[in-house]
């Protein structure tokens, strides 16, 4: 009789490329959320009201999204990453100085959203390869949100 040992959560995390990609997306999303929040708090200048409100809308939406992605990791049988230091290390996103002018904030948020889209695309592709349509669909929806955010931020910079 062959005895098959169940996979542990640690084994699932290390062996499942979809889970690894999702862990990266959680970390990136949390970093983008944090960077957007910093910009929301510290934006100044003639565009204060419009940017302050736009940043709040973006980080609020991201907070819900991070939870959904982390719960997808749990549904796949793995543990979601946590802890600010751990998430920052995984994401590797450079933080914007608090005293940055508004246009630098917007340009920074364009860059970090583009990095996130790149990792969302990788997670989408790994999900497709694994036949995980639910995760693939979630990643497609997140890509659409961030591509719209990038478009809006770049449109502000073009003014």
CA distance 148 to 52: 18
Give the count of alpha carbons within 13 A of 15, CB side only: 8
Q: Check if CATH label 3.30.310.80 holds for domain 11-158.
A: no
Give the tens place of pLDDT for each residue, 127-136: 999 999 999 9
CA distance 112 to 126: 21
Q: What is the mean pLDDT of residues 31-60?
A: 97
Give the tens place of pLDDT for each residue, 65-123: 999 999 999 999 999 999 999 999 999 999 999 999 999 999 999 999 999 999 999 99
Question: Per the confidence metrics, is the pTM higher than 0.85?
Answer: yes
Domain boundaries, the chain: 11-158
Percent of the chain with pLDDT over 70: 91
- Extract the tokens encoding 57: 């809308």
Closest CA to 132 of 5, 14, 26, 22: 22
């Amino acid at each position: 009789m062959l005895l098959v040992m169940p996979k542990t959560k640690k084994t699932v995390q290390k062996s499942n490329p979809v889970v690894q990609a999702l862990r990266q997306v959680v970390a990136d999303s949390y970093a983008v959320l944090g960077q957007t929040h910093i910009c929301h708090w510290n934006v100044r200048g003639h565009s204060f009201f419009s940017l302050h409100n736009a940043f709040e809308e973006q980080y609020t939406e991201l907070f819900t999204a991070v939870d959904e992605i982390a719960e997808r990791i749990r549904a796949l049988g793995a543990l979601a990453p946590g802890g600010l230091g751990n998430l920052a290390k995984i994401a590797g996103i450079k933080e914007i100085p608090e005293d940055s002018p508004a246009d630098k904030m917007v340009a920074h948020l364009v860059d970090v959203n583009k990095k996130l889209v790149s990792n969302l695309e990788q997670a989408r592709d790994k999900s497709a390869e694994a036949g995980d349509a639910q995760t693939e669909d979630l990643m497609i929806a997140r890509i659409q949100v961030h591509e719209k955010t990038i478009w809006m931020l770049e449109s502000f910079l073009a003014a």
